[in-house]
Amino acid sequence: MNLQQAMKHPNALFASPEVVEASTEFTKAQKRAILTQWKDQLEKLLIADEESMLRADTNAGGNADCLQRVSNILSRLSVESGRANFGCVARDSSFG
């Protein structure tokens, strides 16, 4: 799957945010990028809904639920990345 397409249309290419999380095609950084883009798109949809700019058949409740799931996955991916770097401290040679 093409990363650029995945970032441009995540909701069209993935059945759910959990599918992105489980994917073996992308690195964790790529998954974060895709999910961040998805989150941004969902936030814009919710703002448009609040301003009554969406069509009547748009599922605002579903968007809010999906946004929460995307945010939860992004948090998990960030925690996992933090654990992977735990204990790896860069040393500053200027301190001798």
Each residue's pLDDT tens digit, 58-68: 565 788 899 99
pLDDT band at 49 (very low <50, low <70, confident <90, very high): confident
Could you tell me the residue range of the domain that residue 26 belongs to? 3-77
pTM here?
Answer: 0.76
pLDDT band at 12 (very low <50, low <70, confident <90, very high): very high
> 94 in a domain, yes or no?
no
Structure-block tokens of residue 37? 């883009």
> 90 in a domain, yes or no?
no
Cα separation of the two ends of the chain: 48
Examine the pLDDT at 85 and tell me if it is beyond 60: no
- Residues whose CB is less than 8 angstroms from the CB of residue 61 and which lie 6 or more positions away in sequence, other chains included: none
> CB–CB of 37/73 below 8 Å?
no
Examine the pLDDT at 57 and tell me if it is beyond 70: no
Q: What SS3 state is found at 7?
A: helix
> 82 in a domain, yes or no?
no
In angstroms, rounded to a whole number, what is the distance separating the alpha carbons of residues 2 and 46? 27
> CB–CB of 21/77 below 8 Å?
yes
Query: Residue 96: what pLDDT?
Result: 47
Query: Residue 90: what pLDDT?
Result: 47
Domain count along the chain: 1
